[in-house]
Chains A and B, each alone.
Chain A
Amino acid sequence: MRTKRLWLPLLLLGFVVLVVWTGLGRGEASPQDNRIAIIMKTTDANSHYWQTVRSGALAAAKELEVALELSGPLRSIDSDEQARLLEKAIEQRPRAIVLAPIDEDALAPQLEEISRLGIRLIIMDTPLLHHRADSYVSSDHVEEGREAAGILAPGRKTRPVYAFLTSDEKSPVAMQRRNGVLEALPAGSAYNLGMINVGKSEEQAYRTVKSLTVAYPGMNGIIALTDIGVAGAAKALKETGLSGSVKLIGFDSSVPEIQLLEQGAMHALIVQNPFNMGFLGVQAALDSSGGSATVDIPSATITRANMYAPENQKLLFPFVY
């Protein structure tokens, strides 16, 4: 009799406890799960490109509410330092690592460790050739090459005669751009004068282009895969008075290149969108649904005519904040 009378209040109390318990249990996400390490090629404040990547990554971190640990070597050629930073990031066991590799070979042990631990790996900017990544966030460098080819031969009226200038034959980005050009301009439809390595010397580029103008008077295009090649080539073309007739095409922007573009000494710049790369890199790191493995960030072709359009100003003159 006693127990029979007690069941109802007890039942109600139990119900209340259940309600409170489920109420308290909701909405508690561990912040530990949302840590993302991002390792850039450099944290050099003078590198507008990487500072803009950083801005994009920070904007994404704010929007998506993730804890971001940003790092990178001071100089963009210090691959040993990058390996060390990557190692440090792995020790923290973040949810994902976003990496812009300087030199894949120098990072090989760390990359294997990441894949062994099952940490999500997002690669930005430069593709990995020998290792697997969960996602690759970058401009399509082959497509950039195709765009450059399109500028060289608009409407296929004239047969392009062109040369490549590079300062690093091993750079996968430069190779992909070259392949894109070659793909769009197969032998027969264009005449390729070859790829000339000018090293890190503007002087070397200047001399190379000058001799090319003498050797191949019919040359109507130069694709400079690095900004060093652009400066030397522009100087040589200006001196020989060929600025208008030989199309000089470069990749990524710098103040001298912009000035050359303003002067008309340069025909086009193909620029990437580093802000979007940083933003989408962080977004891809969080996207555990295993979405598309490659996130393509379209590059923009900037000519003298459109360089001061609002959207292109942002690309050419990165406003770092």
Chain B
Amino acid sequence: MRGRRFLDYYPKTIHAAISTAFSLLILAAIAVTSLISYNVSEDAVISNSEAYMGEIITQVNNNIQSYIDNMENISLIIFTNKDVKYYISSNPFISREEVRSYQKNISDLFQSLLYTRKDIASIMVFGYNGRVVSDRRLTQLNPNVPPQDQDWYKQAVKEGGRSVISPPHVQNVLQGEYSWVVSLSRELKSINGMTGQGVALVDLKLNVINDICRNVKLGQRGYVFIVDSSGNIVYHPQQQLIYSKLRTEQIGRVMASEQGSFVDKDSGRIYTIHDTSFGWKIVGVAYQDELISNPSAMRNSFLLWAAAGLAVTLIISFIISHRITRPIRRLQAVMRQVERGDFDVRAEVGQAGEVGQLGRAFNMMVGQTRRLLDERVQTEKIKRRTELRLLQSQINPHFLYNTLDSIIWMAEQRKNEEVVLMTSALAKLFRASIAKDDELVPIRVEVEHIDSYLQIQKMRYRDKLDYAIDVPRELHAFKTPRILLQPFVENAIYHGIKNLPEGGMIAISARQADNGIEFRVSDNGQGMSEETIKLIMGAVRRDSDRDHIGVSNVNERIELAFGSDYGVSIESEPGEGTTVAIKIPQVR
């Protein structure tokens, strides 16, 4: 349960761990750098665009300024023109003919000025003495619109000699003409330069300003508008909507701002303001989202490059982690072989790094284990042999005492033959147990040994015990470990038959089984349960219990000497008897 949420998903192999760590690091690094560079380039694009807007607006200003300058120049020509001065002067000595010729001269001058400048709609002079002259041959004033009541006239008088620029308006002073113009008006002074004598009017066609503003491209939806010094709209592409209050413009904020830029957060528009020398403010409006020429293309190219970089680095990280972990995985494979019990393998020690050291240490460990294992096998063998020798050399004192008791008893009864028989059997038995330490003996010798033993036992138990040995002669030449059968026969007598009142029978046989020899020791005694068999066959050895040492010892001896294909197996049925099968290989 501990750490279930996270640790379960934590990569389990080093390879996976390295790959994961690399991938996450690279992902984070690429994400961060992409984001930063995207923002940086976005900022760069925006500031570039702002600079570009500023340039465009300056251009618009320069264009408009040049038209205004031109009007100014024309008004100065009028201001300084002697003919005009005479024409509007209150000098009563100028005759009517002279006035007419002045009028003609002035009109010619105005016409020639107008001829060179297509942007000028009209040039007029209104004298305070009631005389009017214009660029037209015949000046017909609109009788319903007295010039003195017009704003441009009143402003010019008020300013006393300085030029005044009007907002765009319909010029209605000429009969039947209604054209949209921007007017520059200026009060004309007398020759002494002090008293005002009239007002000069120069009208600029509004088309000119409209065309300049309309042709400015500030993105798809951007536009230019102009306000005058009191906040009235001079030009706006949607002036009508603003008048109808269907649309609002940031005029208040524009009026309050210095030259420069500000961003209207609500509508996402950038306002770039340029102050003109004549009081107007030219404002460029661009939509922020349009400034980045193609934001989605830019974002996509960033995404694509980031993805490509990520893909490449992921593959590389996978390969690198694969290379790093390869020696470890090799070592792992070797370890698995050792796990399965193959101690002969050795790890390749190719490099001097940690893994190389690990491999060397592992090889040393495997070698040591192997040596220890061999040593242990050797020790076990020696131990078994010692045990066996102990077993073989020790004749059970009870057995010896009982046998000698039997011999004494038979001698008292004068049963000489039996005494001789028993004594010689005992002698054979002793000879066999003190014979030189030759591991394997011919089966013939083993059969003689077990025969001697059984003879003694039979004499002791008389009618209670009978036995039969059936070992074919052709097997006599093969070899067998010494004292192989005695423990089983002993068990059969003491546990199987001894307590039976009617006695029992022990049959010993041998036959050739598949590439081996199988001895069988059967009795028709008490038999035993499965648990007892397990107890006997189990490796549980108690020093006090010689019998059990015998059975398991024999089994282990056979397995040690010949391998696990050979050994002892017991079949028993309580009340029916026990059969022990001992299998050994054919050894000559």
Contacts and interface: CB of A to CB of B under 8 A. Distances in A.
B interface secondary structure, majority? helix
A27 interface: yes
Nearest to B297: A27
B314 A27 contact: no
B221 A321 contact: no
Interface stretch (B14-22, B389-397, B502-510, B551-559): B14-22
Nearest to B295: A27
A23 interface: yes
Contacts of B296: 26-28
Nearest to A260: B144
B314 A13 contact: yes
B311 A16 contact: yes
Contact of A276 (B23, B244, B295): B244
Contacts of A298: 244
A317 B170 contact: yes
Interface in B257-307: 295-296, 299-300, 303-304, 306-307
A258 B170 CA distance: 12
A259 B172 CA distance: 10
B310 A313 contact: no
B529 interface: no
B304 A20 contact: yes
Interface string B315-334: 10110000000000000000
Contact of B246 (A4, A28, A280, A308): A280
B300 A24 contact: yes
A12 B239 contact: no
B327 to A, nearest CB: 16
Interface in A162-209: none
B241 A16 contact: no
B237 interface: yes
Contacts of A313: 169-170
Interface in A244-285: 255, 258-259, 262-264, 273, 275-276, 279-280
A311 B220 CA distance: 28
Contacts, number: 108
Interface in B157-185: 167, 169-170, 172, 176, 178, 180
A56 B240 contact: yes
Contact of A273 (B13, B244, B300, B315): B244
A12 B172 contact: no
B214 A9 contact: no
Contact of A12 (B23, B144, B211, B300): B23
B243 interface: yes
A310 B303 CA distance: 52
A239 interface: no
Contacts of B169: 308, 310, 313
A94 B304 CA distance: 35
Contacts of B13: 4-5
A262 B207 CA distance: 25
Contact of B16 (A5, A16, A23, A27): A5
Given A20-B303, A65-B220, A275 B241 contact: yes
Contact of A308 (B20, B27, B170, B318): B170
Contacts of B295: 27
A156 interface: no
A62 interface: yes
Interface string B12-49: 01011001100100010000000000000000000000
B142 A9 contact: no
A301 B176 CA distance: 22
B232 A310 contact: yes
B81 interface: no
Interface in A55-73: 56, 59, 62-63, 65
Nearest to B149: A308
A94 B221 CA distance: 22
A23 B303 contact: yes
Contacts of B239: 314
A17 B311 CA distance: 10
Contacts of B176: 255, 259
B210 interface: yes
Contacts of A17: 307
B27, B303, B304, B306 — which one has the most chain A CB atoms within 10 A of its CB? B303
A262 B240 CA distance: 23
B224 interface: no
A280 B238 CA distance: 12
Contacts of A216: none
Contacts of B223: 62
Given A5-B16, A273-B244, A319-B180, A262 B314 contact: no
B246 A276 contact: yes
A26 B170 CA distance: 49
Contact of B23 (A8, A26, A59): A8
B206 interface: yes
Interface string B121-148: 0000000000000000000001011000
A63 B23 contact: no
A19 interface: yes
B299 A23 contact: yes
Interface string A222-256: 00000000000000000000000000000000010
B144 to A, nearest CB: 4
B221 A65 contact: yes
A9 B318 contact: yes
A86 to B, nearest CB: 27
Nearest to A277: B240
Contacts of A317: 170, 178, 180
Contact of B144 (A19, A263, A321): A263
A24 B304 CA distance: 9
B516 interface: no
Contacts of A65: 220-221
Contacts of B575: none
B331 to A, nearest CB: 16
A256 to B, nearest CB: 10
Contact of A20 (B11, B232, B307): B307
A19 B167 contact: no
A62 B23 CA distance: 48
Nearest to A56: B240
B311 to A, nearest CB: 6
B416 to A, nearest CB: 84
A316 B169 CA distance: 11
A319 B317 CA distance: 69
Given A255-B178, A263-B144, A279 B303 contact: no
Interface in B226-258: 232-233, 237-241, 243-244, 246
B16 A8 contact: yes
Contacts of B20: 8
22 contacts: A8-B16, A9-B318, A13-B314, A16-B307, A20-B304, A23-B303, A59-B241, A62-B221, A63-B238, A65-B220, A255-B176, A255-B178, A264-B144, A275-B241, A276-B244, A298-B244, A308-B170, A308-B172, A310-B232, A310-B243, A313-B169, A317-B178
Interface of B: 11, 13, 15-16, 19-20, 23, 27, 142, 144-145, 167, 169-170, 172, 176, 178, 180, 206-207, 210-211, 214, 220-221, 223, 232-233, 237-241, 243-244, 246, 295-296, 299-300, 303-304, 306-307, 310-311, 314-315, 317-318
Given A59-B237, A59-B241, 14 more contacts: A4-B16, A5-B15, A24-B300, A62-B220, A65-B220, A255-B176, A258-B178, A276-B244, A276-B246, A279-B238, A298-B244, A308-B172, A314-B240, A321-B207
A-B pairs, 3 with minimum CB distance: A275-B240, A262-B144, A311-B243
